[in-house]
């Protein structure tokens, strides 16, 4: 039995032999191989659904089984749109990382085997050393570091290990979309609090830093049932980098109400201008109640490697280890070796011009500025991000001019707009409403998210499309 999307399918033995099936699968892969990394495969017509007398899906999936990404990625591919939607670099990762991976694959044959389940020893050692320095903590590689399948894995373990039925988890809107389903799958109850844009601004471009929490509103969300708050700095999709004062506000509430903090810091090296990333775990009294989550994918521009980690006190991490032990148990050894060697290199060059972290944010900041200027030419108003490789742009002017775009009933305006933009302008982005709870979606349906970690030819293609669009607007 194969499971494709959320549909249960069986392969009818009378219609297909195992060798036919191999050909079928291989040929469909062959067709899409040139764009395999971001294409969607369709189920074969040979597959049929079984009508079960019982409910097929587990109840914990109710209400979370529709994923907006699949739809937008598919539409972008079908229309060969310039893909500024999904967050991945379309240029080569640093050579020292790919060389380290080649070496791991062709060198010691034992790297083909299982390693320590909770993390390859050289990797946990260098992560403890590297982040111990940043967090000003003496980290024990065996107790305070857990290697996971991407930051997604670290997030999933955090919710599964520490959130119980009925626990409330505070999510700050807009939020990386998996936080809500992960809370619900653990039996928890998401409680939302928004970052609010300023009511009016003086004609200058807004910065992501202008979007702020209302301290009284945030405080009102903490109840005796609150188990955790999730913070994401720099934040996807807004690009907000929390200031020390904002982190102190959150930290004080966590301590006052005895609440845990899941701190998603995957974009910590991508901060611009004079901004500085601060880990909430480095604030007084916060290490004890914080899980700090990171991603090699974002750190070394290798999103397909899916190596992540979580750092925290042993009394919390031991429960994440229990989930890991009984869930995935292990992450690929060769990739862990390549990530550990990349970190060793970065530690040698820490803060110096040769450091990839130092170079990357400078290069990406130029791309950010380029995209901000390009979007302004057609009348979108970007919110300038302090961090990440995303920006959100206000499309209110388009909403006023063409309020009735086609779409399904109840579909948010930003989602309709993106479908229209993909089909008519050949540009793909992501609606910001997918980063909001269902209560807030209607009020924030006039922003769309673009990704700017793209190569020069993608930027050229974007600019060509925008120039064409501008001409049409002026005609």
Ligand X SMILES: Cc1ncc(COP(=O)(O)O)c(C=O)c1O
Q: Choose the binding region for ligand X from 147-155, 166-174, 222-230, 412-420 (rule: CB under 6 A).
A: 147-155
The smaller minimum CB distance to ligand X, of residues 233 and 469, is found at 233
115 binds ligand X (CB under 6 A): no
Cα–Cα distance measured from residue 468 to residue 473, given in angstroms and rounded to the nearest whole number: 9
**Structure-token match 């990704």, residue found:** 451
Shortest distance, position 381 Cβ to ligand X, whole Å: 23
Q: Which of 101, 120, 176, 211 binds ligand X (CB under 6 A)?
A: 176
- Of these, 89, 93, 308, 385, which contacts ligand X (CB under 6 A)? 308
Minimum CB separation of residue 297 from ligand X in Å reads 4
Q: Does 266 bind ligand X (CB under 6 A)?
A: yes
Asked if 236 interacts with ligand X (CB under 6 A), we say yes
Q: Which is nearer to ligand X, 201 or 329 (CB)?
A: 329
151 lines the binding site for ligand X (CB under 6 A): yes
- Is residue 240 within 8 A of residue 393, CB to CB? The reply is no
Binder of ligand X out of 150, 209, 387, 431 (CB under 6 A): 150
Beta carbon of residue 23, minimum distance to ligand X (angstroms, whole number): 33
169 or 466: whose CB is closer to ligand X? 169
Q: How many CA atoms lie within 13 A of 127 on its CB side?
A: 33
Residue nearest to ligand X (CB): 150
Among 150-158, 189-197, 223-231, 432-440, which window interacts with ligand X (CB under 6 A)? 150-158
When binding is defined by CB under 6 A, the residue of 85, 297, 312, 332 that contacts ligand X is 297
Output the CA–CA distances (angstroms, integers) from residue 380 to 102, 283, 448, in the order listed: 43, 38, 10
73-92 binders of ligand X (CB under 6 A):
87
303 binds ligand X (CB under 6 A): yes
- Our finding on whether 193 is near ligand X (CB under 6 A) is no
Q: Which residues contact 357 (CB under 8 A, 6 or more apart)?
A: 269, 299, 346
User: Which region among 101-109, 301-309, 320-328, 423-431 touches ligand X (by CB under 6 A)?
Assistant: 301-309
Q: Which CB, 232 or 466, lies closer to ligand X?
A: 232
Q: Which residues bind ligand X (CB under 6 A)?
A: 87, 150-152, 176, 232, 236, 264, 266, 295, 297, 303, 306, 308
């Amino acid at each position: 039995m194969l499971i494709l999307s959320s549909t249960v399918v069986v392969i009818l033995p009378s219609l297909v032999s195992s060798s036919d099936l191999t050909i079928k699968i291989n040929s469909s892969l062959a067709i899409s191989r040139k764009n395999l990394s971001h294409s969607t495969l369709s189920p074969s017509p040979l597959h049929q659904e079984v009508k079960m007398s019982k409910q097929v899906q587990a109840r914990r999936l109710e209400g979370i089984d529709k994923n907006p990404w699949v739809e937008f990625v598919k539409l972008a591919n079908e229309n060969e749109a310039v893909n500024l939607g999904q967050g991945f670099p379309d240029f080569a990762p640093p050579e020292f990382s790919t060389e380290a991976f080649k070496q791991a694959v062709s060198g010691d044959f034992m790297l083909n085997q299982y390693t320590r389940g909770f993390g390859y020893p050289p990797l946990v050692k260098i992560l403890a050393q590297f982040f111990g320095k940043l967090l000003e903590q003496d980290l024990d590689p065996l107790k305070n570091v857990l290697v996971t399948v991407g930051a997604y894995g670290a997030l999933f373990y955090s919710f599964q290990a520490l959130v119980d039925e009925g626990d409330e988890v505070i999510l700050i809107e807009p939020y990386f979309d998996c936080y809500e389903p992960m809370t619900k799958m653990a039996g928890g109850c998401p409680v939302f609090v928004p970052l609010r844009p300023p009511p009016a601004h003086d004609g200058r471009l807004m910065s992501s830093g202008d979007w702020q929490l209302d301290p009284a509103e945030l405080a009102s969300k903490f109840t005796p049932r609150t188990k955790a708050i999730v913070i994401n700095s720099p934040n996807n999709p807004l690009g907000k980098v929390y200031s020390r004062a904002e982190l102190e506000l959150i930290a004080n509430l966590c301590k006052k109400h005895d609440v845990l903090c899941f701190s998603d810091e995957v974009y910590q090296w991508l901060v611009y201008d004079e901004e500085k990333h601060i880990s909430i775990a480095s604030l007084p009294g916060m290490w004890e109640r914080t899980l700090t989550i990171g991603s090699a994918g974002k750190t070394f521009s290798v999103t397909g490697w899916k190596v992540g980690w979580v750092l925290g006190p042993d009394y919390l991490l031991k429960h994440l280890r229990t989930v890991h032990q009984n869930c995935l148990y292990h992450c690929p050894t060769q990739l862990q070796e390549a990530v550990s060697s990349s970190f060793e290199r970065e530690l040698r060059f820490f803060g110096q011009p040769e450091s990839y972290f130092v170079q990357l944010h400078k290069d990406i900041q130029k791309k950010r500025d380029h995209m901000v200027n390009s979007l302004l030419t057609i009348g979108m108003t970007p919110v300038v991000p302090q961090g990440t490789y995303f920006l959100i742009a206000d499309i209110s002017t388009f909403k006023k001019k063409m309020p009735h775009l086609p779409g399904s009933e109840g579909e948010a305006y930003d989602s309709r707009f993106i479908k229209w933009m993909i089909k008519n302008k050949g540009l793909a982005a992501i609606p910001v409403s997918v980063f909001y709870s269902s209560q807030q979606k209607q009020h924030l349906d006039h922003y769309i998210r673009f990704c700017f970690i793209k190569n020069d030819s993608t930027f050229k293609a974007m600019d060509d499309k925008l120039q064409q669009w501008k001409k049409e607007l002026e005609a």
